[in-house]
Each structure stands twice: as structure tokens, then as C-alpha cells.
Amino acid sequence: MSDDYNMSMRKFLKQVGVTSQKAIEEALRKAGDTGGRPFDVKVVLSIDELGLEHVVTGTIKGEDA
């Protein structure tokens, strides 16, 4: 794989990680005291031109007060 490919992939994945974390943290702040309860999460990655739809699911635990 080329250097341009590797750099564009890393840049995209870094942006996804950083912006997703910020969005989750903001939502948890707005929710207030979540009492440490778990939240089911789902991320859907799609590339229409390649017919790709990749789903990742998991759980994020809210903060304890």
C-alpha cells in the first residue's frame, strides 16, 4: 500500500476517533449524572462507492457521580 493511502487512512481514522469521543463526552455531560450505567453504542461506517457497510457495537459506561 502506498504512503498516500496509509496517511489518508490514518488521518480519517484519527478524525473519527477524536470527533466521536468529543461527541460522546458532550452527550454524557448533557445527560448529567448517569450513575455509571452502561449505554449501548453503534457505529456504522459506509462507503457507498464500494458497497461497504461495517457496523461496530459496544457498551460505554457512564461516569459515577
pLDDT on residue 65: 67
Residue 52 has pLDDT above 90, yes or no: yes
CA separation, residue 23 to residues 1, 18, 19, 26, 48 (Å):
32, 9, 6, 5, 24
Rounded to whole angstroms, how far apart are CA atoms 8 and 14?
A: 10
**Average pLDDT value for the chain:** 95
C-alpha span between 60 and 65 (Å, rounded): 16
pLDDT at 37: 94
d(CA 4, CA 11): 10
Q: Kindly state the cell numbers that stand for 39.
A: 449505554
pLDDT of 1 above 90: no
